[in-house]
Amino acid sequence: MVSLDEVLNLIKLKPEKTELILTGRYAHKEIIDIADLVTEMKEIKHYYYMKGVMARKGIKY
């Protein structure tokens, strides 16, 4: 959707008091290196496994 360079520029050029929240998997090392906070989430429970709910447009794909 956007290139690594575009994301890095956005982070570098944002106003100092503006907070960015980036989501997704497999963050590039350069993004991790300049970020103030990086969190890795781990699935504990998912309704797919509990109730067989399949992916829904706009939610999972």
Q: Is the pTM of this model over 0.75?
A: no
Is 30 within 8 Å of 8 (Cβ atoms)? yes
- Residues 6+ positions from 34 with CB-CB distance below 8 Å: 8, 11, 12
For residue 51, what are the CA distances in angstroms to 20, 43, 60, 61?
Answer: 34, 16, 16, 19
Higher confidence at residue 55 or residue 34?
34
Q: Is the dihedral of CA 7, 8, 14, 19 positive or negative?
A: positive
Q: Domain limits of the chain?
A: 4-51
pLDDT digits (tens, 9 = 90+) for 29-54: 999 999 999 999 888 887 776 676 66
